[in-house]
Amino acid sequence: MEGYYSSFDLSKALSEDLAGHTTQGAHGLNYHHGPPGDEGQTFFMPCKSIMGQGAMKGAVSQIKALGHKKALIVTDAVLVKVGAVKALTETLDQASISYAIYDGCEPNPTCGQVEAGLKKIKEENCDFVISFGGGSPHDCAKAIALTATNGGDIRQMEGVDKSTKPMMTMVAVNTTAGTGAEMTRFCIITDETRHVKMAIVDWRVTPTLAVNDPKTMIGMPKSLTAATGMDALTHAIEAYVSTASNPVTDACAIRAMKLISAFLPTAVEDGKNLKARDMMAYAEFLAGMAFNSAGLGYVHAMAHQLGGMYNMPHGVCNAILLGPVQKYNAKYVPELFIDIALALGFQCGEDKDLAVTKVLETIKLLKNRIGIPKNLKAFDQVKVADFPLLAENAMKDACGATNPHQPTKEEVIQLFQEAYDQEDEESIEIANLQQQLAAAAARCKDSAVLKKAMVQLLQG
C-alpha cells in the first residue's frame, strides 16, 4: 500500500479526466462533446423495475396494487404456442386479474399490428397493457398504449416527444436480453408502406413497471440469445461513444460491456445456466439505462433500415454493422476505445491504436464464436443496389444524431458495403488453406499418422 496515494494523486487525475485531459473513467463532461446547453442533462428511468428470479410473480403482486380492471396482454403467437405466456396467465389467474390476449405482434412490429391491438383494447374494454416477450411485443404495446390515450395514428408520433398525454399504464415482462425496450423511452415500429422502421423517442412510452426474470429467458434458442446479446453490446458501445453521454450513462455502459463479454458466450453455449441468464438480464438493463439517456448511433440508424427493408433480426443487423461503424467512429474518438478495451478485458495503457484494434478484434471474435453470420452477403435478400436508399433513410433516423461524427451519404453507403463484404477474404483464405491441407493429406496415403494429424487440423 505504501506510496499509493503519494505516487498517484487521485483528485488531480480525476480533475484532469473531467477536464478532458485524460481518458480513463467518465468522459462525459468535457471530452469530445459539445457543451450540454444551459438546461442540464436529463436521465430517463422507469419508476419501478423488478429484477432476478421470481420477478414475474413479484410483478403480478404489484399489478394488483395498481388498481386497474383488465389488462391487454400484447405478445406474439410463438410465445403462446410454446406455452411461455401460460406462465404469466396462470399467475394472473391466481391473483384474480382479468385480461385479454393480443398475440398478433411479430418480430419488427408494424403499424398494422399496432392498429389491430388498438382495436382489441377497445373491444375488450381494457384499461392497461402487459407486454410479454422481447423488444417487438414491448414496442407494439407501447404504441398501442400511447395511441389509446393520445388518439391519431402511430406514424404521427415518429420523432422526439410528439405525444401530449401519458400512455396507458404498461407493465413490460421481458423474455429476451436484449433490447432494453422493457425500460426505455424508445419505440420502434415498421411503417410497412415506406419499408422504414420509425423511431418514436418519447419519455411518455417509458413502461410503468419493467420486469426481468431470468427464468422467462431460459427458453431462448442459441441464435436468439446471440443476436439479442449483441444488440445489448451495441447499445452499450454506442451509448459510450455517444455525444450525449454523461458520467451516469458511462458507468452503466462500461458495466454492461464487462458483463456481456463475461457472460454472453456461456448464455449462448449453456442456455440453462441461470447465472449467465441473470447476468445477461442485468447487462441488457444496464445497456438500456445507458442508451435511454445517452442515445445511440449509426449502427442502429443503419440496422433499422435493414430491418425495415428486409425484415432481418435486429440483433443480427447490429452485430454485423458494429465492427464497420466503430472502425469509422474510432477515427474521431480513438481515446474512448481505451476504456472500451479495458471493459472487454484488455489493458492498453494509453495506446489508443492498440485499444481500437483490440475492440474491433473482440467484436469479430465474439460475433463468430456465438454463430452470427459474418456479413450482409450471407443474406440473399440484401441487394447492393439498395444501399443508396438505405443510406438516405439511415441519415433520417433519430438514432444517428448522437453518433460521435456525422457521416456523409457516401460514407454510409461505404459502411453498408464494408458490412456486406467483411471477413469474406478471410473465409476465402481459410477455404484455400483447407483445400491445400486436404490435398496434402490425400497425397500421404501411406502415412496414417500424418493423415490423421492433418484431418484433425482441418476439423479444428
Nearer to ligand NAD, 271 or 404 (CB): 271
Site mask for ligand NAD (CB under 6 A), range 304-333, x = bound: ---x------xx------------------
Min dist CB 206 to Fe ion, Å, is 16
Nearer to ligand NAD, 27 or 235 (CB): 235
339 lies in the binding site for Fe ion (CB under 5 A): no
- CA proximity to 30, closest of 216, 250, 314, 295: 250
- Binder of Fe ion out of 231, 335, 339, 423 (CB under 5 A): 231
Continuous H helices in 270-408: 274-294, 298-310, 314-330, 336-343, 352-369, 387-394
Tell me the site size for ligand NAD, rule CB under 6 A: 31
- Binder of ligand NAD out of 23, 212, 228, 245 (CB under 6 A): 228
103 lies in the binding site for Fe ion (CB under 5 A): no
428 binds, among ligand NAD, Fe ion, none (CB under 5 to 8 A by kind): none
Cell numbers at 308, concatenated: 425495415
Q: Tell how many helices (H) and how many strands (E) occur in the chain.
A: 18, 9
Min dist CB 448 to ligand NAD, Å, is 46
Strand order in the sheet with 70-74: 48-51, 209-212, 170-174, 128-133, 70-74, 98-102
Contact (CB, 8 A) for 101 and 117 = no
Give the CA distances from residue 425 to residues 287, 382, 433, in Å, rounded to whole numbers and listed in that order: 33, 19, 12
- CA proximity to 31, closest of 228, 294, 316, 217: 294
Helix (H, G, I), strand (E, B) or coil at 70: strand
Site for ligand NAD in 185-214 (CB under 6 A): 186-188
444 lies in the binding site for ligand NAD (CB under 6 A): no
- Binder of ligand NAD out of 113, 131, 179, 329 (CB under 6 A): 179
- CA proximity to 122, closest of 70, 86, 171, 172: 70
With vertex at residue 114, the alpha carbon angle to CA 113 and CA 120, rounded to the nearest 5 degrees, is 90
Segment holding 133, helix H or strand E: strand 128-133
Stretch that binds ligand NAD, among 27-35, 128-136, 319-327, 334-342 (CB under 6 A): 128-136
423 lies in the binding site for Fe ion (CB under 5 A): no
Site for ligand NAD in 260-289 (CB under 6 A): none
Neighbours of 148 (CB within 10 A): 20
Stretch that binds ligand NAD, among 55-63, 110-118, 223-231, 394-402 (CB under 6 A): 223-231
Nearer to ligand NAD, 145 or 441 (CB): 145
Summarize as ranges the residues that interact with Fe ion (CB under 5 A): 231
Summarize as ranges the residues that interact with ligand NAD (CB under 6 A): 76, 78-79, 107-108, 133-137, 139, 175-176, 178-181, 184, 186-188, 216-217, 219-220, 224, 228, 231, 307, 314-315
